[in-house]
Amino acid sequence: MRRDFWIKLSAAALIGAIIFAVMPLDRMAKAQNDFVHWYVGGFLYGTPDIHLQAPNHAKQAELLGSTLDHSYFIRPTFYGFFLKPLTWLPYLTSYYLYQAYSLAALLFFLWVFGERWPDIWVYAAMSIPAISHMVNGQDVTSLLLFCTLSLLLSRRQRDFAAGLVFALCAIKFHLFIFVPLAIIAHRRWRLFAGAAVGETILFLVGLAGGGWPVFLSLIALLRRPENHPYPELMPNLRGMVYAFNGGPNTPLLIAIYLLVGATAAYLVWNARTYEKSFAYALMAGLVINFHAYIQDPMLLLLCCALLFDGEESLAFRSVMQLLLFPVVYLLLLWQPPFSGLYGLLIIAAFAVALRDQLQATTALPGFRTLILCAASVPSSFLPASPSPNPNQPRPFLSSPLANSTSKPTKQPG
């Protein structure tokens, strides 16, 4: 690699080390973080207590000697089944193994996409979401792993298997609500079928973990406002409205949801490849939701890796890269109204992407109309011309302008 890459990576690693040093490392070392949710969820899977507050706190007190605020197993029930093996080991041993897995999943993701976009290593090294993820014992690296494996399988035309793997992203399903539109837009029906089969299996696994009463207890837990604390610090549009408005404003939030959602849907539907559609869908899911925190924007690394292919505009690349810099997340964690900057940047990214897409799809229609009108003129009014060589492409069809602005056929990513 070039020397300037290693200089950038070294500088980013130094920034990341400084950020890591000011984190609550003592709490991280003792596993007094979100990992306790996964351990408790695995332990209580198969019982009616998995989503009940009192049993969750009782197990936390047993493991930690205390309880964490707003801390319960609020993930889908099936997730407890996959977390069950963690409970076969002592708590701290399980925690360190889990952190090793999490780091390995992150490195695998970076290795896969690093060849296409080497600077992903630079941004990951100083990523506050990534550092916060490790300190908090979170599980977004699992989402990166599932998405990476699914995309790799889809590149090999193994769409059904890709859908099965993608179904595992249902552990945080609210971040992927736009992805089905990407699958439909590119007619990846086997991928859709695989995802549907996977979700059905996961639903049955969840049902086996305690039946309908468990599902109802999860819904009751999710409906409690105290389980979604600090909305003004959330990296989503809801957090932006809280930050700038000083509190909730439901009509304004719905209007912004509709505007950003319509823009995202247009981009998803018209993106040239499935992977670009997937990236736009994921970007939308990251901000159009009710519940998100500092570790979730790690997924923007994946979005950038898929969207930075040399065809993007400088303005779009600049806004997206700005969303990866630490300063955005320092402001997010600071206080309102500064925490609302993240939402504004996401809106700006969608606005620039929409502008670029509209320019690409509307630059040629007028010229096409002129050509069609000329083609409709009776041949007696046109001067004679030699018959075209069938082996020689017409200049219009072979020009870069035509290739870049005509509406492309949906192709696999």
- How distant, in Å, are the alpha carbons of 92, 166, 264, 324 from that of 85? 14, 22, 39, 34
Question: 3-class secondary structure for the chain?
Answer: CCHHHHHHHHHHHHHHHHHHHCCCHHHHHCCCCCHHHHHHHHHHCCCCCCCCHHHHHHHHHHHHCCCCCCCCCCCCHHHHHHHHHHHHCCHHHHHHHHHHHHHHHHHHHHHHHHCCCCCHHHHHHCCHHHHHHHHHCCCHHHHHHHHHHHHHHHHCCCHHHHHHHHHHHHHHHHHCCCHHHHHHHCCCHHHHHHHHHHHHHHHHHHHHCCCHHHHHHHHHHHCCHHHCCCHHHCCCHHHHHHHHHCCCCHHHHHHHHHHHHHHHHHHHHHCCEHHHHHHHHHHHHHHCCCCCCCCHHHHHHHHHHHHCCCCCCHHHHHHHHHCCCHHHHHHHHHCCCHHHHHHHHHHHHHHHHHHHHHHHHHCCHHHHHHHHHHHCCCHHHCCCCCCCCCCCCCHHHHCHHHHHHCCCCCECC
Comparing CA positions, the residue from 239, 226, 252, 331 lying closest to residue 286 is 239
Q: In the prediction, which pLDDT does 398 show?
A: 31
The answer, yes or no, to whether residue 413 has pLDDT greater than 70, is: no
Q: What is the mean pLDDT of residues 266-275?
A: 97
Q: What is the mean pLDDT of residues 274-281?
A: 98
Confidence of residue 2 (pLDDT cuts 50, 70, 90): confident
Q: In the prediction, which pLDDT does 384 show?
A: 42
Q: What is the mean pLDDT of residues 97-114?
A: 98
Q: Per mean pLDDT, which range of 30-39, 78-87, 217-226 is the poorest?
A: 217-226
378-398 pLDDT, tens digit per residue, is 433 333 433 444 344 333 223
300-354 pLDDT, tens digit per residue, is 999 999 999 998 999 999 999 999 999 999 999 888 999 999 999 999 999 999 9
Confidence of residue 70 (pLDDT cuts 50, 70, 90): confident
- Count other Cβ atoms within 10 Å, centred on residue 91: 18
Q: In the prediction, which pLDDT does 161 show?
A: 98
The answer, yes or no, to whether residue 236 has pLDDT greater than 90, is: yes
Q: In the prediction, which pLDDT does 1 show?
A: 61
Q: In the prediction, which pLDDT does 335 show?
A: 83
Q: What is the mean pLDDT of residues 131-151?
A: 97
Calculate the average pLDDT of the chain: 88
Q: Where are the domains of the chain?
A: 3-361
Give yes or no for a contact between 67 and 75, defined as CB atoms under 8 angstroms apart: no
For the entire predicted model, the pTM comes to 0.86
| Structure tokens, 124 | 């990951």
372-382 pLDDT, tens digit per residue, is 343 344 433 33
